[in-house]
């Protein structure tokens, strides 16, 4: 099952940046890569549940603001300590200047 949810405008996210998106009691992070693609993950770090939208985007990596844990935001894969659990990712599509994410 797919449930596409309108998360934000494409212009809401700067290139190589991330914003927070809250929906239905859950928090997500929406990323725009340096090559102008959009990605979505759970919004909280799997280590100590800090908001990743406050972190730093570098290429395909989001760095958590609390202990500098890193994830590949395209795949959700953790990049070593202190991250033990990968990040959940969500399909994204861009339509009419809006970023939609599939929350399943
Ligand atoms: S809370 Fe994110 S690395 Fe610790």
Closest alpha carbon to 37 in 53, 19, 57, 15: 15
**Model confidence band, residue 23 (pLDDT cutoffs 50, 70, 90):** very high
CB-count exposure of residue 86 (10 Å: 0-12, 13-18, 19+): middle
Ligand 1 pocket: which of 66, 70, 71, 79 to mutate (most atoms <8 Å of CB)? 66
Q: Is 45 in the pocket of ligand 1 (CB under 6 A)?
A: yes
Torsion sign, CA atoms 97, 14, 64, 50: negative
Nearest to 37 by CA among 97, 94, 103, 89: 94
pLDDT tens-digit series, residues 30-58: 999 999 999 999 999 999 999 999 999 99
- CA dist 76 and 71 (Å) reads 6
Nearest residue (CA) to ligand 1, atom 1: 48
Residue 104 confidence (pLDDT) above 90: no
Stated pTM of the model: 0.96
- The structural domains of the chain, ordered by start, are 4-102 (2.102.10.10)
User: Has residue 61 got a pLDDT over 90?
Assistant: yes
Q: Is residue 1 pLDDT above 90, yes or no? A: no
53: phi then psi, degrees, rounded to nearest 5: -65, -15
């Amino acid at each position: 099952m797919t449930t596409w949810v309108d998360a934000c405008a494409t212009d809401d996210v700067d290139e190589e940046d991330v914003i927070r998106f809250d929906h239905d009691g859950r928090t997500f992070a929406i990323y725009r890569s340096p090559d102008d693609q959009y990605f979505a993950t759970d919004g909280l770090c799997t280590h100590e549940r800090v908001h990743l939208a406050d972190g730093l985007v570098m290429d395909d990596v989001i760095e958590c603001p609390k202990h500098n844990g890193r994830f590949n935001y395209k795949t959700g894969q953790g990049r070593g300590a202190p991250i033990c659990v990968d990040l959940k990712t969500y399909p994204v599509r861009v339509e009419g200047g809006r970023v939609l994410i599939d929350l399943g």
